[in-house]
Amino acid sequence: MKRREFITLLGGAAAAWPHAARAQQRDRMRRIGVLVSGTQADTEIQASLTAVGQELDRLGWSEGRSAHIEYRFAATPDQFQLLARELVSMQPDVLLAVTTPAAAALQRESRTIPIVFARASDPIGSGLTASLAHPDANLTGLLLYEEGITGKWLAMLKEIAPHLSRAALIANPSTTPYDYFVRSAKSPAASLAIEPVPSPINDATDMERVIAGFAAQPNSGLVLLPSQTVLLNRDLLIALAAHHRLPAVYPYRPFVAAGGLMSYGIDLVEHTRQAASYVDRILRGANLRTFPCRRQPNTRPSSTSKRRRRSA
């Protein structure tokens, strides 16, 4: 081979190498880790994760082709950290956390892997980030509810039960920013002449004890706060409220679909689906700090079970 031909071939190979490397990097299988509060068998969780998968597929991240998704389900609060550590050890390109405890557990394990959260109500108070507009760590995502939602739930109770004077605020502090909702209830409760009664629970036994005790006082009602423990025990909570004839307002529509009295809140499936857009942007190379936490409007109108309302 002549010297000139050799130099030409070498130059062409050198020019092609960076392009080939970039193409290989672009085409490699991306890894996504998902940590979920709850059980895989829960129908609402199944629907939400199916929506995320469909949206990622629409955006070009097909499971088994361009992306691989690892799911972990924390059915109890003590499982979060172990499962978060397991996901981080796989070194995914991005992590998706469904609920505040899931996001906190993942962030304790990694300050470098990008984390997108969904269903987090108080990311600043929970220590996930110092700013919603300019995330200062490796985490961003979608807010579930802002403080004003608690006043809406109390007002709905007062409307349907005008003599109401006490409302139990029920949730598991291990699976929701409980103090955030209790604190935000004080002002609207005072204006409605309602005494907000913090009523933390951990499991089904606590629910039965708290609600039975609360029902012994007249003019009482229930506010079920956003909490994975509350969501997973929705059938029991609805049955207890009906048994004790207590007006109750729930944070999500699935409670009304299961026979609960009324709910006001967002569409959980749609909310979780929207987190896929953040995952997509990160996988395409966007700097996490360039897009803020998104405030999710409380757009789901009041829903009321007609059957239960007639008997209330």
pLDDT in tens, 36-65: 998 999 888 999 999 999 999 999 999 999
Question: Can you tell me whether residue 304 is helix, strand or coil?
Answer: strand
The full set of domains in the chain, from first to last, is 24-144+267-290 (3.40.50.2300), 148-265 (3.40.50.2300)
Sign of CA dihedral 189, 190, 192, 196: positive
CB atoms inside a 10 Å sphere around CB 276: 23
- What pLDDT score was predicted for residue 307? 36
* CB contact at 8 A, 70 and 92: yes
Question: Regarding beta strands 220-224 and 67-74, do their DSSP bridges make them parallel or antiparallel, or are they unpaired?
Answer: unpaired
Is the pLDDT score of 11 beyond 50?
no
pLDDT tens digits, residue range 77-103? 899 999 999 999 999 999 999 999 999
- What pLDDT score was predicted for residue 295? 64
Is the pLDDT score of 205 beyond 80?
yes
Provide mean pLDDT across the span 286-304. Answer: 61
* CB contact at 8 A, 288 and 129: no
Question: Regarding beta strands 195-200 and 220-224, do their DSSP bridges make them parallel or antiparallel, or are they unpaired?
Answer: unpaired
Query: How confident is residue 146, by pLDDT bands cut at 50, 70 and 90?
Result: confident
Sign of CA dihedral 252, 151, 201, 123: positive
Residue 261 and residue 308: Cα distance in Å, rounded? 6
DSSP letters for 175-236: SS-HHHHHHHHHHHHHHTT-EEEEEE--SHHHHHHHHHHHHTSSSEEEEE-S-HHHHHTHHH
| Residue 176, token pair as written in the block | 């929701």
Non-local (6+) Cβ contacts of 146 within 8 A are 121, 295, 298
Query: How confident is residue 124, by pLDDT bands cut at 50, 70 and 90?
Result: confident
Query: How confident is residue 292, by pLDDT bands cut at 50, 70 and 90?
Result: confident
